[in-house]
Amino acid sequence: MNRLATTTKTKKNINMKLFFIVNPISGGVDKEPFLKKAKKLCDFYGIEFMIFKTTGKNDEYEVLRSIEEFKPDKIASVGGDGTTLFCATALLNSSYPMGIIPLGSANGMAKELFVNPIPIEALKDIIMSEIIEGLDMVLIDNKRYTMHIGDVGINASIVNAYEKDKNRGMATYAKYFMEELKRLKPFKVTVKTKDNTVTTNVFMAAICNARKYGTGVLLNDRGNLMDGKFEIVLVEKINISSLLKAGLSAFKDEFFDSQSSQVISTNKAEIIFEDPRLLQLDGEVIGYYKNIKVEVLESAVKFITHRGNTHLAE
């Protein structure tokens, strides 16, 4: 099949089987230079490997069928945040551990999990490491998953406009960022948890399994993808005039002032709006919601990491 672009093995002394899941178009990054290096590395060390390239058609079914046939020891997600989420969702509650090769546009998940930013070095870490830890996922309305950050409000509106533009990159994002700020209005939200109910007016309500957006913007300092909790960040104030003057430099520091936000840590919650609001999850616009039920799936995915991942010590 075209998907299974490469399968190779040496005649003896096979100690590891490695399965690559590659999104060829993620982030507009050419994956072939990395794959060429990866093949050489695996051949050099006698690692049997298979490469699966997504096409957008029956990918989850095909990848699971291929994994079960190949029975790898480890799986490498090659792409950006969307590829990582696809791999994690496919491997949900399975025994197969996965690692990340950062080859997307922002690579927010890789940054959050202290993955080496140099792809071939990240691959070496996956091959070498025997540290496998549980990675949390967040379930939305019992049918959708997020690993990174989802939100309602200013950022969801920006992402919605950005997705429709043929141009990509920070300049395009900044254009819609500025446009959205000019028409920004707060809206009412209620958050219900087992311990409390909070009602307030916000410019954004974010569901965070992590701390930062892929752009580097910090939303909260509590996020840990391995702690069995998620954070709901309620952004109550934004200094619009300062942000408009700052322009792109706003992305260099904290976009949202932590003193102007409420952060709720929990493992289950319901978020309620007066009117349906647009929701985005990990950079994908999902649709309009008036009620959102959120629940953490603790240690749902086995993740290959290393001692440089400071989440392990928290």
pLDDT at 247: 43
**Are residue 176 and residue 50 in the same domain, yes or no?**
no
Residue 54 domain-assigned? yes
**Are residue 91 and residue 171 in the same domain, yes or no?**
no
**Are residue 164 and residue 295 in the same domain, yes or no?**
yes
pLDDT at 58: 94
Q: What's the pTM?
A: 0.85
Which structure tokens are listed for 103?
Answer: 């080859």
Residue 226 domain-assigned? yes
**Are residue 161 and residue 265 in the same domain, yes or no?**
yes
**CATH code at 99?**
3.40.50.10330
The domain total for the chain is: 2
**Are residue 105 and residue 215 in the same domain, yes or no?**
no
Q: Which residues does residue 87 pair with via DSSP β-bridges, in sequence order?
A: none
- Domain boundaries, position 23: 4-128
CB atoms within 10 A of CB 154: 21
d(CA 189, CA 286): 19
Cα–Cα nearest to 135, from 265, 226, 267, 229: 226
∠ at Cα 176 (27, 28), nearest 5°? 10
Residue 259 domain-assigned? yes
**Are residue 41 and residue 124 in the same domain, yes or no?**
yes
Residue 51 domain-assigned? yes
Helices 32-45 and 119-128, axial angle in degrees (round to 10): 30
Residue 273 domain-assigned? yes
**CATH code at 236?**
2.60.200.40
**Are residue 68 and residue 172 in the same domain, yes or no?**
no
Cα–Cα nearest to 156, from 292, 10, 308, 25: 292
Last residue of a domain, one of 97, 128, 159: 128
Residue 135 domain-assigned? no
pLDDT at 3: 57
**Are residue 154 and residue 274 in the same domain, yes or no?**
yes
Residue 306 domain-assigned? no
Q: Please, are residues 146 and 140 in contact by the beta-carbon 8 Å criterion? A: yes
pLDDT at 234: 94
Q: Please, are residues 138 and 294 in contact by the beta-carbon 8 Å criterion? A: yes
Residue 138 domain-assigned? no
First-to-final CA distance of the chain: 44
pLDDT at 26: 83
**Are residue 181 and residue 252 in the same domain, yes or no?**
yes
pLDDT at 20: 98
**Are residue 151 and residue 295 in the same domain, yes or no?**
yes
**Are residue 170 and residue 226 in the same domain, yes or no?**
yes
**Are residue 115 and residue 178 in the same domain, yes or no?**
no
Last residue of a domain, one of 95, 128, 161: 128
Mean pLDDT by groups of 10 residues along the chain of 314 residues: 53 76 89 97 96 95 96 96 93 95 90 96 98 96 92 76 63 66 83 96 92 80 93 83 44 54 95 94 88 97 96 77
Last residue of a domain, one of 102, 128, 154: 128
